[in-house]
Amino acid sequence: MSGEGSYRLKPVSFDDLPGWHSDDPTSLWAAMTDCRNYLQSVKTYKAGRLGLTTGDLMPLLEAAEKVVPVGPQDARDFFERETQPFLIEPANSKSGLVTAFYEPEVAVSDRPDSAFRHPFYRRPLDLVDVDETNRPTAFDPSYAFALQTDEGLKPYPDRREIDLGWLESRGLEIAWARSKVDVFFAHVQGAARLRYPDGRLRRITYAAKAGHPFSGIGRLLIDLGEIAEASISMQSIRTWLAAHPDRIDEILWHNRSYIFFREAEVDDLSRGPIAAAKVPLIAGRSLAVDRQIHTFGFPFFIHASGLTHMDGGRDFARTMLALDTGSAIVGPARGDIFTGSGDEAGELAGAVRNAADFYILIPKQAAERFV
């Protein structure tokens, strides 16, 4: 926006949104109710640099509570009455970018053995939050976590050091998986369903990270000439790792970021995991955004020409709610679509990397500040 030089908001009409008139946003009502209930319990979502606040969002959520849409047209009419769409125009690009994420299901055991050897860890006690009040002068500004020592804060051990045993014998293990690659991709997704041998199903979700920046292994494999850029996907990366077991550590350790989890019950299998906005995700309708710019709970309309495998051959064009974030999601027109849980959702997510137009739907009273 003006003053920051990285993007601007262009007011448009709903008729300007490609695919708007065929979208069905009715499934968003459950998530808007969840957000309203969370925020009414004296909570707030931290405002991003765009400047939208919980106070700007609440009138929209309260208005939604008084509406029971009987079909897609009713739902679209609600957003047309209550919001003003703005196209987000990045200064250095003609469009934004969407990828996708999902909740994998991983076979695990609650005790290690020769088959189940790779742990999911809870947050360690010596991992502390870092902000402007305690950040050491020499610390990278991106680090939000650190190791608490008697001498002060230091960078936390990275993926390689943790894989080599840094956290052993602390009792932090939630469960053990068969595959280090499965654990790694659960870290990338930020959540997982754990399937135990006796049929029990538990959930784990993001609790904290070691603090190091995320480094995509897909880009590494492209740069090494191992996978063509046009062929890169989660599936092609998994296939390459399976074919090169002797190089798994080399590749995975390139991404120094390490994720810690907390346990969560699976109360409703039709709902997604509870993510950064503290409400359950909705498959196909939840968006991870750059938390430094955007504020959770706000609606977006995403149009991605050429992203057709999620909508029966039609271009992706959906109203979504910003309910999550991720260290790889950086920029005003950058988003990650939640596709659901399990292998089928993983197949959908792994093939998404598309240029997209991002429209944010701002409640009309707040929209006056941006016109």
Same domain? 149 vs 232: yes
**Nearest-angstrom CA–CA distance, 108 and 118:** 9
Give per-residue pLDDT as tens, 84-113. 999 999 987 778 999 999 999 999 999 999
Same domain? 322 vs 257: no
**Nearest-angstrom CA–CA distance, 20 and 76:** 8
1 within domain boundaries? no
Same domain? 136 vs 245: yes
- The pair of three-digit structure tokens given for residue 131, joined into one six-digit string: 């902000």
Same domain? 158 vs 241: yes
**Nearest-angstrom CA–CA distance, 226 and 155:** 31
Residue 14 is part of which domain span? 7-100+271-367
- Mark which of 235, 264, 293 sits at the end of a domain: 264
pLDDT at 92: 79
Give the length of the chain: 371
Q: How far is CA 183 from CA 82, 151, 179, 247, in A?
A: 43, 32, 7, 16
Same domain? 235 vs 309: no
**Nearest-angstrom CA–CA distance, 127 and 354:** 36
pLDDT at 131: 87
- Mark which of 240, 264, 288 sits at the end of a domain: 264
176 within domain boundaries? yes
189 within domain boundaries? yes
**How many structural domains does the chain have?**
2
Angle between helices 54-65 and 72-82 (to 10 degrees): 140
All residue ranges of the chain with pLDDT < 50 are 2-5
Residue 363: which CATH number?
2.40.40.10
